Amino acid sequence: MYQLEIGTVETIDRPRAGLARLRVVLEGTKPEAAFALEPIASGLLAGDEVLLHTTAERLGLGSSEGHVVVANLTRPETRGRIAGSEMKARYTASQVAVELAESPTLWIDADLGGIPVVVAELHSALVPIVCGIRAAGSQAPVAYVMPDWNGLPVALSDAAHRLRELGWLSSIVTCGQAYGGDLEAASLPAGLCLAADGGAEGIVVVGGPGHLGGPQPFGFSAAGQADALHLAAALHGEPILAPRVSGADERERHRGVSHHTRAILERLLLTSVALPIPHGAPPEIGRALEASAARTESPVVRSRVPDYVPLARESGLKLETMGRGVDDDPLYFRCLAAAGAHAASLMEEDRNER
């Protein structure tokens, strides 16, 4: 079940094409946050009456961006040009037309050519991984391949768009039901191949904003990390799992090495992957990862962590996860930057061999 409520647009901020962040007034309330995507976003005006999907906010979910605008009741029809011949978010009220990218490569010839594929759980991993790559000195083109594990529209990711704006991401490829990237892929393996076709020398795979978790075996939406790592190996890439590690998470199951990372390593993974951690990480982190990785003989790699924090801050990038900043939980971010630095070393080795 879900809740629909009517509100009035008070203010509008359009940080980029395709997204409008709003303050809306619902009956008897102070202004509340909301957002609209295209085709509604560009036509909104202050004072418009809008229909809002309010469920996530009413549940108090920390990953919510605010209420979702379902329709502009003041001007309900949108009749713009249909830009695409295929549908994503299929059979939902918000299904969107896209044009799938074309590739000259046949499936039988698809090959990533040994490029590193860094896979991580939370969307907050994207910035420290890419900053780790850049701070390590690599200028190699890196693609963000976004699967449909979490939120589907990449328009909601400030991080992805800022990294693209900086030129630190060469492309954004949205896969499966996810949409809005530079390239649209029907599946995750297609997305990996499109990134490589486009000249990427490194790939980061992490879901979009918003993560789902619940009390069931493998009950977290980024359990798809195992699939991504298997695909990277099958397509002759170098699979790298950026472990989720925290020194400050209030939940015991996520302190140290998260039980999500352990579930991937101990039960779901069928191939060997690299597991970078920073030089100087607490010894118990290395021991825990080595124990979990023993089944697949995945090596725990000690990686030098470059000075990525000033780089991120000077570039207008946020280092934040679940309300914690880099000063609150440095271990979380250092482990992700270490994964980026390890990928950078592989990319530079490959460049030197060519």
Summarised one tens digit per residue, pLDDT across range 54-90 is 998 888 876 678 999 999 999 998 777 788 899 999 9
> For the ranges 7-16, 20-29, 229-238, 244-253, which has the lowest average pLDDT?
244-253
Task: Report pLDDT for 248.
Answer: 75
Task: Report pLDDT for 57.
Answer: 86
* CA–CA separation, 285 and 263 (whole Å): 15
- Which residue intervals of the chain bear CATH 2.40.50? 4-72
What is 4-72's CATH number, 2.40.50, 1.10.10, 2.30.30, 2.20.110?
2.40.50
- Residues 121/260, Cβ–Cβ less than 8 Å: yes
Task: Report pLDDT for 247.
Answer: 83
Instruction: pLDDT band for 354, please (50, 70, 90 cuts).
Output: low
What pLDDT, in 10s, does the model give residues 114-167?
999 999 999 999 999 999 999 999 999 999 999 999 999 999 999 999 999 999
| φ and ψ at residue 314, rounded to 5 degrees | -65, -20
Q: Backbone dihedral region of 227: left (phi > 0), alpha (psi from -120 to 50 degrees) or beta? A: alpha
* CA–CA separation, 138 and 348 (whole Å): 7
Say whether pLDDT at 43 is over 80. yes
- Which residue intervals of the chain bear CATH 3.40.50? 107-353
Q: What is the pTM of this model?
A: 0.95
CATH of domain 107-353: 3.40.50
Task: Report pLDDT for 303.
Answer: 95
What six digits make up the tokens of 74?
């003041």
| φ and ψ at residue 69, rounded to 5 degrees | -75, 120
